[in-house]
């Protein structure tokens, strides 16, 4: 693969980031963009539409499920933050795995992550189209899916700052909405909200319908399986940091704030739901947890309000998914693991081919969803379902190796440190492995793990064969855009 000329900007990040170079990414994301991407990255549409299933399975104990997964994400983000602060990169953990574990690892996890996000594009485009079709039925659902994909693709093609601006407002709406929900709902829980229709039972709903764990302690683990994938996206900020004005500061800030973000937005909002209503309330099952909670307070048009918020979350996820997939493809292209065109940028610093390549597969997946929803698209969903956990595992193993590399080569860059290294890193590996094994005991989870593992094995096998045939470089591979960062 042809290498791109290296830039010499002092702000250059691995993957070719440089504010003044037409050959690399540009630092077009402002600090406010990165801050909102970091906050909004942990609030996916799954929180709004998927939490009712978790509540039905685990009752109020779903709070423990969210806390356990939240702890796992905090630890993974701390590890990723350690590596990203020392070496901001558009390829993030894929580039670090390339360096620490081997060419095959960076290649495999990069393409699996790309695959995950282009499938997410189809899921979110379809979800957004359903809402929009309900408001304006004159346009068919496939037409709305096409419109939202085209609009967000155009925004990403203009410049990275346009992506950042879109995401700033999308994420901002999510954050304001969920913060308002927590405040208003919290007041209603304790009977402090004027004119509320809710009786304000305080904390009694946590135990008055069969106890805190009505379905037994095992339901906590079932809840973990249902909520774990709603946390995917936390790592996006480490990819975006390479195109920010101050990558190290952005990564450090995002890593340090992930604890309160998860505590407030996930645990806080779910706590409000299970204290406003009994966990087995028919309204939660029929309307969804957040709509049911708003209805119980007496908020008019709660369903419409929630649809607006969910649509915003969907568009945010679409926007970030396209950005994330394209930057991973760009990084793979720069390292010679994808077509060389993916590793090139326009004069505005936009990886045009990587964006278009990602969105084409996204459009194809949308088409599969309409043509063969129960066969081809279902296979795509299940075969990418466990990739999130595979990514987190790779981050853990990579950090075990990268700590020594950073200390040996650039100890002054170790400004974010993983707590209790290496013990907490190994503990996190154990937690993630346990979740994967436990998924095998669940019918839906078993299919996701098996299919995702098969796809992962195929990709890893291809990477190893490719490396053997081509005599590709070893684990300490040189990034053509910035040899200083990843040279052995």
pLDDT tens track for 417-466: 999 999 999 999 999 999 999 989 888 789 889 999 999 999 999 999 98
pLDDT tens track for 316-365: 888 888 988 999 999 999 999 999 999 998 888 889 999 999 999 888 88
Residue 260, C-beta contacts closer than 8 angstroms, at least 6 positions apart: none
Q: Does the pLDDT value for residue 251 go beyond 90?
A: no
Whole-number pLDDT of residue 187: 94
* Axis crossing angle, helix 302-334 with helix 45-58, rounded to the nearest 10: 110
On whether the pTM is more than 0.75, the answer is: yes
Q: Does the pLDDT value for residue 14 go beyond 70?
A: no
Whole-number pLDDT of residue 453: 93
Mean pLDDT of 171-179: 88
Average pLDDT over the chain reads 84
pLDDT tens track for 115-134: 999 988 888 888 888 889 98
H-state helical runs in 5-102: 31-40, 45-58, 62-86, 92-100
Cα dist. 32→168, 288, 292, 355, 454 in Å? 8, 32, 33, 24, 40
Mean pLDDT of 364-380: 85
pLDDT greater at residue 217 or residue 18: 217
Whole-number pLDDT of residue 76: 93
First to last CA, the chain: 20
Q: Does the pLDDT value for residue 13 go beyond 50?
A: no
Mean pLDDT of 56-64: 93
Q: What percent of the chain has a predicted confidence (pLDDT) above 70?
A: 90
Q: Is the dihedral of CA 70, 72, 75, 76 positive or negative?
A: negative
Q: Does the pLDDT value for residue 412 go beyond 80?
A: yes
Q: Does the pLDDT value for residue 280 go beyond 60?
A: yes
Whole-number pLDDT of residue 485: 37
- Is 17 strand, coil or helix? strand
Q: Does the pLDDT value for residue 224 go beyond 80?
A: yes
Mean pLDDT of 369-395: 87
Q: Does the pLDDT value for residue 42 go beyond 80?
A: no
The band of 41, judged by pLDDT with boundaries at 50, 70 and 90, is low
Is residue 430 packed enough to be buried (19+ CB in 10 Å), middle (13-18) or exposed (0-12)? exposed
d(Cα 56, Cα 63) in Å, to the nearest integer? 12
Q: Does the pLDDT value for residue 113 go beyond 90?
A: yes
Tell me if the bond preceding 422 is cis, omega within 30° of 0.
Answer: yes
Q: What is the DSSP letter of 268?
A: I
Q: Does the pLDDT value for residue 64 go beyond 90?
A: yes
Q: Does the pLDDT value for residue 66 go beyond 70?
A: yes
The band of 6, judged by pLDDT with boundaries at 50, 70 and 90, is very low
Residue pair 249/466 in contact by the 8 Å Cβ criterion: no
Q: Does the pLDDT value for residue 483 go beyond 70?
A: no
- Is 13 strand, coil or helix? strand
Q: Is the dihedral of CA 339, 343, 347, 348 positive or negative?
A: positive
Whole-number pLDDT of residue 434: 93
The count of other CB atoms within 10 Å of the CB of residue 191 is 12
Whole-number pLDDT of residue 455: 93
Residue pair 396/105 in contact by the 8 Å Cβ criterion: no
Q: What is the CA radius of gyration of the chain?
A: 22
Whole-number pLDDT of residue 11: 37
Whole-number pLDDT of residue 184: 93
Q: Does the pLDDT value for residue 478 go beyond 80?
A: no
Q: What is the DSSP string of 311-374?
A: HHHHHHHHHHHHHHHHHHHHHHHHTTSS-GGGG---TTS--HHHHHHHHHHHHHHHHHHHH-TT
* Helix H or strand E segment including 425: helix 423-439
Whole-number pLDDT of residue 44: 67
Q: Where do we find the tokens 């080569």?
A: 409
């Amino acid at each position: 693969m042809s290498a791109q000329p290296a830039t010499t900007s002092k702000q250059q990040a691995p993957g070719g980031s440089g504010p003044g170079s037409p050959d690399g990414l540009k630092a077009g994301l402002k600090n406010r963009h990165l801050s909102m991407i970091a906050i909004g990255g942990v609030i996916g549409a799954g929180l709004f539409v998927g939490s009712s299933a978790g509540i039905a399975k685990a009752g109020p104990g779903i709070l423990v499920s969210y806390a356990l997964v939240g702890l796992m994400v905090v630890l993974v983000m701390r590890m990723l933050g350690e590596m990203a602060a020392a070496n901001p990169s558009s390829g993030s953990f894929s580039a670090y795995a390339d360096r620490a574990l081997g060419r095959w690892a960076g290649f495999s996890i990069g393409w699996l992550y790309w695959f995950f996000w282009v499938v997410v594009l189809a899921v979110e485009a379809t979800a957004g189209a359903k809402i929009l079709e309900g408001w304006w039925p004159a346009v068919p659902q496939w037409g709305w899916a096409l419109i939202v994909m085209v609009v967000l693709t155009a925004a990403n093609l203009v410049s990275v700052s346009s992506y950042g601006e879109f995401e700033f407002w999308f994420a901002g709406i999510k954050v304001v909405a969920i913060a308002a929900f927590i405040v208003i709902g919290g007041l209603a829980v304790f009977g402090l909200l004027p004119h509320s229709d809710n009786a304000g039972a305080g904390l009694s709903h946590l135990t008055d319908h069969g106890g805190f764990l009505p379905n037994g302690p095992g339901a906590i683990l079932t809840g973990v399986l249902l909520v774990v994938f709603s946390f995917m996206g936390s790592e996006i900020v480490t990819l975006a940091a390479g195109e920010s004005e101050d990558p190290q500061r952005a990564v450090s800030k995002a890593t340090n704030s992930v604890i309160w973000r998860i505590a407030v937005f996930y645990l806080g909002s779910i706590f409000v739901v299970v204290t406003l209503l009994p966990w087995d309330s028919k309204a939660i099952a029929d309307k969804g947890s957040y709509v049911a909670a708003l209805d119980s307070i007496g908020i008019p048009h709660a369903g419409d309000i929630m649809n607006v918020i969910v649509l915003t979350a969907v568009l945010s996820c679409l926007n970030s998914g396209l950005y994330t997939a394209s930057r991973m493809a760009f990084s793979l292209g720069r390292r010679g693991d994808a077509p060389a065109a993916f590793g090139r940028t326009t004069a505005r610093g936009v990886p045009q081919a990587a964006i278009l390549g990602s969105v084409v597969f996204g459009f194809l997946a949308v088409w599969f969803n309409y043509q063969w929803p129960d066969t081809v698209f279902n296979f795509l969903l299940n075969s990418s379902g466990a990739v999130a956990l595979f990514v987190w595992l790779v981050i853990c193993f990579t950090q075990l190796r990268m700590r020594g590399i950073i200390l040996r080569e650039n100890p002054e860059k170790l400004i974010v440190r993983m707590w209790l290294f290496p013990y907490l890193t190994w503990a996190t590996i154990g937690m993630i492995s346990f979740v994967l094994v436990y998924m095998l005991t669940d019918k839906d989870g078993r299919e996701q793990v098996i299919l995702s593992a098969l796809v992962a094995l195929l990709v890893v096998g291809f990477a190893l064969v490719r490396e053997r045939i081509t005599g590709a470089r070893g684990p300490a591979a040189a990034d053509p855009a910035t040899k200083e960062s990843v040279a052995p």
